[in-house]
Structure formats: structure tokens, C-alpha cells
Amino acid sequence: MSLKKLMATGLLLSTLGVSAHAQSLVYCSEGSPEGFDPALYTAGTTFDASSHPIYNRLSEFKVGTTETIPGLAESWEVSEDGKKITFNLRKGVKFHSNDQFTPTRDFNADDVIFSFDRQGNEENPYYTVSGGTWEYFNSMSMPELIESIEKVDDYTVVFNLTRPEAPIIANMAMDFASIQSKEYADAMMEAGTPEMLNQAPIGTGPFQFQAYQKDAVIRYLRNDEYWGDPAKVESLIFAITPDASVRYQKVQAGECHVMAYPNPADVQAMKDAEDIVVMEQEGLNVGYLAYNTKVAPFDNAKVRKALNMAIDKQAIIDVVFQGSGQIAKNPIPPTMWSYNDAIEDDNYDPEAAKAMLEAEGVSDLSLKIWAMPVQRPYNPNARRMAELMQEDFSKVGVNVEIVSYEWGEYLERSKAEDRDGAVLLGWTGDNGDPDNFLAVLLGCDAVGGSNRAQWCNEDFDKLIQEAKVLSSQDERAALYEQAQEIFKDQAPWATIAHSVVYMTMRPEVEGYVVHPLGGHIFNQVGLSQ
Amino acid sequence: MLNYILGRLLTFIPTFIGVTLISFSFIRALPGDPIQVMAGERGVSEARYAELAAQYGFDQPIYIQFWDYLTGVLQGDLGTSFVTKRPVWDEFFALFPATLELSFFAMLFAVLLGLPAGVIAAVNRGKLFDRALMSTALVGYSMPIFWWALLLIIVFSGNLQWTPVSGRIDLLYYFPNPTGFMIIDSLASGQKGAFASAVRHLVLPTIVLGTIPLAVIARQTRSAMLEVLGEDYIRTARAKGMSPGRINGIHALRNALIPVVTVIGLSVGTLLAGAILTETIFSWPGIGKWMVDSIFRRDYPVVQGGLLLIAVMVMIVNLTVDMLYGVINPKIRKR
């Protein structure tokens, strides 16, 4: 009898063990996070492990889109002049707890103020903690933009801006804007361990941090008190696996359910495999060749247009991207709102290009093409891409010399307004807002900086400046669509490609969505038995 | 003996300073600095650059930076990683046990197989076994680690499913790691199957990392044995009618061991270099991957600190090897 009982208990335990295991979602990630306080860092790997599972923001990106939806703020109002934004905060939101901390109150306005104040106010005791440089806060121009943040009451916060800025709502959904617990921060400061904010994170997100072993594994447990839709799995495990081939082997062997960044060369075999699911989507990026529009004859839009027609983009997609790319016709990617799909790309037509160059009186043209020394999603092999262009341009009588510099040098030198040659470069979006591409890369203010074409077109600039201060997304989209027409007509760049992002997973994974902003998000992902 | 060790320890000082200087200047000689690498396409304004440079101390003259670093090191402070913002020591101690565990088993594997293989080859010189072994050793020695590892994974983990693909233990097991050595911690955890899982995870990385040292040790043992087997005292022993096992196993092997031990000591350096690739492929959380990442990110404190600690380890291993000479051959001790 007792033996039977024992066996039954054992059976029960083992069943429990198995089901607990089955409810763990294992994600083979590509690397270790730099830490767990997203405001301190800029890498996607860090955001995957910190801001997405652990934290929330005032506004959130709807998974699978670049649209912003309410997060910890239930709603917001923008004042008439666009310079005052009032956020109405969600009530009853609980922070996580750990060995050293149990929250005594719900999320409120103090947490919002603390989360931003520490990034911009030198007086804040957390300003220097963990060597904070607050890169994203600074690079999104928050210090210049935010005049003050006021607490009206526990559940109302007002952001006073120095100028109207429509993209701020999208900025509030970015990783650096993740909301921290002020109570936890104060407790850790008092205990003399302020770095715990970064090492043992406390947030309001769907998963609670459990443990991290550098370069090996990160463990999370479901937050059962989550204010939104609860996570579908009981625990989430990141198995850190730097090598892409090994990640694939692990998916095949059932050691993980989902993997990031497959080798482009393996994608076809994965698609052919029966028990493997491959999802794909264009990345939120663009790779381009920027002419120097201040130097003759490239100051002539027709010359630039002719050169664009000489580039065989399909060959580039096939050879350089090995299929993991899509031809770009606009400066913003197709997953972004306001993408103007009516625009027609310059067709590949070397004969017509040659004729156009002749008509403009351009002959014996020489051009330097700058090839980046690093690999990027929007350009996996710039050298190879430059060689293909060299070949294409030679067919229309343009002689190309390829140059390259060390990455830091490259970025610095390519900013020069008198730069000799066209630059291969690209951009990955931060907040899903078209302003983040069009103003940053093509605005008049950015000439001599991130506007590598040194292109300042009054009509284009007027449209994007106007769009920046409107709060209606539809009205903004209309202006951006017009701006893309001017861009295409003036051709400051040859738009080359948007990368295609692949996700590889096992068939039992349910509800995974490829996120256009690049993150890997598991809140809504479940496992079928 | 004590004087000898003290003398050797004194020679550590110039080496130590040399390594510090070299690691400090080499990483700075690489083009690009951590701020530029971090900023990437996004760029960084001049004012912001100056602010960050001041924070990292780059605005100081280079000799002051070096002096600050050196005085820090002498007080046991290796600095803080630019990237993770955590002390270099903490990171090192969190990762080093994994490297040590893997290197230990790889070396054990190499010695346990390499020594007997070398002896047998020498005794059967010119015969089939000798030739087969020596050509295998040559292949092993020239094997690209990356390729070898993937091949083993595809065959043993993918097709045959005998071993796990990568990692240190099955993710089902979750227990604290007080020592950092998975073999010990899994036993101490008392969780059923944890130890077996840790062992199974060790098999492939051990073979991969141990392959090159195995080949080197087998070849070195063979040639050292051949030399000793030609000595007069071996002939005398044979003439006395001593059994071949005793001659080869005790008299010859002991005298052949000096060059072999030297090679084993030198292999530790190679092992650490090989660990970089092995750890990357097998997702083994050791210091190899940590160092490579830090070079790409221009994380100066980690590169400097990591190189210094590795150099110190190699120095300690070499000292140990020198002391072993005395144990193996008393003549060296007396000199």
C-alpha cells in the first residue's frame, strides 16, 4: 500500500515536473544583455532581455506594428499649442518584488518623474549610478525637448515641452522610457546598493526577473498580478547561444523553441524542414547610397537620377543579402505608417541612364564610393555591394573608385560637406516614427551631420517640419507621403534595400509576431501541448 | 626550493608591468574608441563626446591614464567595464570557473589519451599503429576548431542525439552555483540527474578543446620516448632481462616526461586561445567570449584586465611546470 502511495506521489510529481517544463518557453538569444536597466544601454539584445519582458512604458508599441497604444498611461491629451502633454496614469498597477524588496504601494506619478529625472537631472542621486551616460535619452534630444515634468496628482503627470513635437508619444514607448519603481530605487540607495536597479530589476511588466548567469541563461517567471493580458507561459528562459548554426541545432533538437537571427544561408533549408516554422518581415531599416548633392555634377538631380537607374538592385539583393533583403524605393521601410506605396522606383535601365547622362553633358565621370567596414542588417557586406555598383556604373561610362575607412573615421569623415564621393550607409529606426528617418537623415538641420547627402530641399523640409508639430497621425501621414514624392524626384540617395528579418521556431510555438521595431517579445506567446 | 620560487616570483614583476603596458597600449592602438563604437550611425555631438571622454578619463594625457590604471591594478582595482558598468573583477570571477572547468577536463582528456598513445607509438615505431596515430595527430593538430565543433554537434547532437547541443546543463535544472563549477554544484544540488546532465554537456566541448593538446602531447611523448629508448641504460635494463612493461612504463617514460611536461605547460596558453572559439560555439559562459566581445566594443578595462589575468595564470602554470621538473628529475632540483 505504502509503495503504491509512494509510486503515485512520484508519478504525480513527475507529471508536475513535466508540465512545469512544458510551460517554459525557451528562447535561444544571440548574446548577453549589457545589463537590465534599459535606459543605460542601446543594444537590442539588452532591450529583449529587459524592457520587453520586465518593464512597461507610458505608451507602448502595439506588438507587430509601429503604432502607439496606451501603456501605463491610460490616455493622454496634447494642449492646443502642442507644448503640454498630460498623461493620465493607470491605477492599481503592481511592481514586482524580490528577496530585497516588496513594494508597499502601486505605481504612481512619482515613478514616472523618477524614471526621467534620473536621466536628465545631475542632482538626482541616480544620475551617476552604474556610470550612466543615458545615451538614448540624449540622442533623442530629450534634455532640450523636456522643459519640466510636473506631478498634478498621484495619477496625472504633465510634460512641458520647449517646442511642439508630435513624435514624443512614440518616444515615450521607447526602451529608455521604461518606468522604474522609485520606491525600489530609494530602498536600494538607502541600502548602499543602487546598482541593484540594473542587476536585479523590478518593473511592472508581464514577466518578473528571476536569475541571470552571464553568457549562459536568463530566467523569468510570469507576473501573475500583471495589469494587462497575462503572459501565456509560466516561465520564460533565454538560453544565450552566440553561434547561429548552433542555435538552429538547438531548435531542431528541441533545446529551444524560438531562435533569433538565423544565418541567411540556412533560411531555405529551414523553410524546407517539416518541423520548423520560419516567419519573416522587413526590418525597420534602410540601406542607401548618399550622393554629395553639394558637389558638381551630383548637385544636378538628373545626374543622380540617371545613376540610380544604372544600379541593378535585384543583383545586390541576390548577392549581398542572399535573399534576406527587399528592394527599397522609399527612404522609410514599408512597415512604417505613411509609407507611400504609390511611388514608382527608378527602373534599372543602363541604356536610358547613359542617354540621360549624355543629355546633361556629363562624360568621363569619376565617382568614389565609400564602403562601410562593418556588417549591418541593412548592409551585410558593403564592400561587395560597392563592387557590384562599380560594375553597374562602368556600364554607363562612370569610373568608380572604392574607398573605406575604419568605422569611427568613416562615420566622422562622411559628414563633411565637401566630401568627395557617395557614401554607403543606412539607418535602423528607433521609435517607428517617420520623423526619425526623414528629419534625422534628410532634414536641412542635419546637413553636415547625419544628412550624408548634404541635401537641403526647402519644399521637403517645410513638409517634415510641419508634420512634426501636428498631433493627428492622419494629417502627418499625408505630409510625409508628399515628402517621399519630392525625395524620389530629387534622388539625393539611391535607396538600396530593407533587410528582411527571419524568426525560426518550433511548430508548437503559438502567437509569435515579428515586431517591426526589431525586438523579440514573448508576452503573447504560448506553447501547444 | 623556497629561494628558487622566490627568485621566480621576482621575475614576475617586470613581466607583469610589461603585460600591463602592452595590453594598455594595444587596445588603444586599435582604431576607433569606445564612444564612437557605442554611438554608431546615431553619432554623438562634440559636446557630448567631450563629456563622455571626461567621464571615462580620456581627456587626461595618456601617461596619466596609464599611471592611474597601474596604481589601480596594484591596489587590486581592475576598473569597471564601459559596457556593463560592472567591476572587471566581478565579471571575471563569474565567468572564470566555467573556463577553468572546461580547460581542466580538456587537459585531462588530452593527457590521459595522449601519453599512452605516444608511448605505444614509440614502442611500436614504424608499425601500422604508429603511422596511423601520427597521421591522426597531424590532422588533429591542424583541425580548425570551429569546423570540428560543428561537425561533432551535427553528428552526435543532431543525428545521433547522444549529447546536448550546447550549454552547461539542461535548463530544467535550476540551483545556485556557489563554486561556479557545474560538476561540483550539480552534485551539491542533490537534484536527480543534474550531475549526469552536467557531464553530458561537458563531453563535446572537452573533446573539441582537448583535440589540439592531445595531438601535441601524443607527438611530443612519442619523440621523447624514442630518444630515451635509444639510451644506454635502457639497453642495460633490457640486457638484465627486465620486463618491457617496466622498462617502457617506468624507466623510459619518467625520463621522457620533462619535454612532455613542458609541452603540457605551454599548451595551457593554446588552450585559452582555443577556449575562445570553443566557448562561443558551445555557448559556454567563460572568459573567452567575454574577451572577444570586449575587443569589438573597445571595452578597454575588460581587455586590459582580462589579458592581465590570463597572463598571470600562464605565469603561474609555467612556475608550476618548472617546479614539477624538480619532482620528476631530482637532478634539476639540486642545480
**Contact by Cβ (8 Å): B313, B320:** no
Q: What whole-number percentage of chain B has pLDDT above 90?
A: 31
Residue B309 near residue B290, CB atoms below 8 Å: no
Q: Is the pLDDT of residue B211 over 80?
A: yes
Domain ranges of chain A: 22-32+205-276+506-528, 56-195, 282-501
CATH number attached to the domain at A56-195: 3.90.76.10
* CA dihedral over A53, A55, A56, A58, signed as positive or negative: negative
Note which residues in 208-247 of chain A have CB less than 8 A from chain B.
211, 213-217, 219, 237, 239-243, 245-246
Please check whether residue A23 touches B, CB under 8 A: no
Per-domain residue ranges for chain B? Answer: 88-332
> Domain B88-332 belongs to what architecture?
Orthogonal Bundle (1.10)
Q: Which residue has the higher pLDDT, A48 or B55?
A: A48
ipTM (interface pTM): 0.82
Q: Which residue has the higher pLDDT, A505 or B73?
A: A505
Q: What is the pLDDT of residues A186-226, one digit of tens each?
A: 999 999 999 999 999 999 999 999 999 988 999 999 999 99
Q: Are A209 and B283 in contact (CB under 8 A)?
A: no
Question: Are A52 and A504 spatial neighbours (Cβ–Cβ below 8 Å)?
Answer: no
CB A234 within 8 A of CB A24: yes
Residue pLDDT, tens place only, B238-259: 888 888 888 887 788 888 888 8
pLDDT (0 to 100) of residue B334: 54
Cell numbers describing residue A432: 517607428
Secondary structure of residue A376 in the 3-state scheme: strand
CB A372 within 8 A of CB A425: yes
| Side chain identity, residue A100 | Q
Say what the pLDDT of residue B13 is.
85
Out of B38, B95, B98, closest to residue A135 by CB = B38
**pLDDT tens digit sequence for A50-88:** 999 999 999 999 988 888 999 999 999 999 888 999 999
Residue B33 one-letter amino acid: D
Q: What are phi and psi of A320, to 5 degrees?
A: -80, -40
* Strand, coil or helix: A326: strand
Task: Tell whether pTM > 0.90.
Answer: no
CATH number of A282-501: 3.10.105.10
Contact between B181 and B169 under an 8 Å Cβ cutoff? The reply is: no
Q: Residue for cell digits 567575454?
A: B290
| CA–CA distance, A194 with A202 (Å, rounded to integer) | 13
Q: Is a pLDDT exceeding 70 seen at residue A1?
A: no
Contact A239 B171 (CB under 8 A): yes
Which residues 377-416 of chain A have a CB within 8 Å of chain B?
Answer: 406-409, 411-412, 415
Q: What residue in A sits closest to B92 (Cα-Cα)?
A: A214
CA of B284 vs chain A CAs: smallest distance (Å) = 7
Q: Which of A62, A44, A58, A170 lies closest to A109 in space, CA to CA?
A: A58
Q: Which of A22-31, A471-480, B46-55, B225-234 has the lowest mean pLDDT?
A: B46-55
Cell of B183: 560538476
Contacts with B94 from chain A: Cβ below 8 Å: 213-214
Residues in chain A, how many? 529
Interface with B, mutate which of A23, A25, A144, A215 (most B CBs under 10 A): A215
On the question of pLDDT at A167 being above 60, the answer is: yes
| pLDDT at A264 > cutoff 50 | yes
Beta strands in A118-275 (DSSP E): 146-153, 156-161, 207-213, 217-222, 235-240, 258-259
Q: What is the DSSP string of B260-316?
A: HHHHHHHHHHHHHHHHHHHHHHTT--SHHHHHHHHHHTT-HHHHHHHHHHHHHHHHH
Percentage of residues of chain A with pLDDT beyond 90: 74
Interface contact flag, A241 B174, Cβ < 8 Å? no
Q: Are B285 and B66 in contact (CB under 8 A)?
A: no
- With cut-offs at 50, 70 and 90, classify the pLDDT of residue A15: very low
Taking alpha carbons only, the member of A278, A282, A283, A281 closest to residue A263 is A278
Q: How far is B13 from chain A (nearest CA, A)?
A: 32
Q: What is the pLDDT of residue A259?
A: 95
pLDDT over 70, % of chain A: 96
DSSP B207-251: HHHHHHHHHHHHHHHHHHHHHHHTSHHHHHHHHTT--HHHIIIII
Cβ partners under 8 Å of residue A127, min gap 6? A118, A119, A121
Q: How many angstroms separate the CA of residue B105 from the nearest CA in chain A?
A: 19
Which residues of chain A have a CB within 8 Å of the CB of B150?
245-246
| Integer Cα distance of B84 and B96 in angstroms | 17
Strand partners, A61: A68
CATH architecture of A22-32+205-276+506-528: 3-Layer(aba) Sandwich (3.40)
pLDDT attached to residue B333: 61
